[in-house]
Amino acid sequence: MAAMIDPAVLAPAVSQTLAGKVAIVSGSNSGIGLAIAKELASRGADTVINYPFPSLAADAEAAASSMPTKCVAVCADMGTVDGPKAL
């Protein structure tokens, strides 16, 4: 019978090349933006999760709390004049 090998042992450690940096990812409350934010956080970056509407706050806060580094969620609609200023 073959011995079970933990997949985590085989996976190379992710380099912490972004430690000490902050990544602001617009539209990162879901989908590709969230995947990018997670990857940046896995590489050591503190992240800012951006979501456009107050109704998405709970999901954005949940995403922020799941990150392995410091992370905040900020409501800012990038399609408005004031959105980028808020972010």
Q: pLDDT for 21-33, tens place per residue?
A: 999 999 999 999 9
More confidently predicted of 10 and 86: 86
CB 41, CB 64: distance < 8 Å: no
Q: Bridge-partner residues for 71, per DSSP?
A: 47
Name the strand (E) or helix (H) holding 46. Answer: strand 46-51
Our CA dihedral for 33, 35, 37, 43, rounded to 10 degrees, sits at -150
Dihedral (CA of 78, 31, 34, 61) sign: positive
Q: How far apart, in whole angstroms, are the C-alpha atoms of residue 57 and residue 42?
A: 23
- The confidence score (pLDDT) of residue 14 equals 73
The pTM assigned to this predicted structure is: 0.80
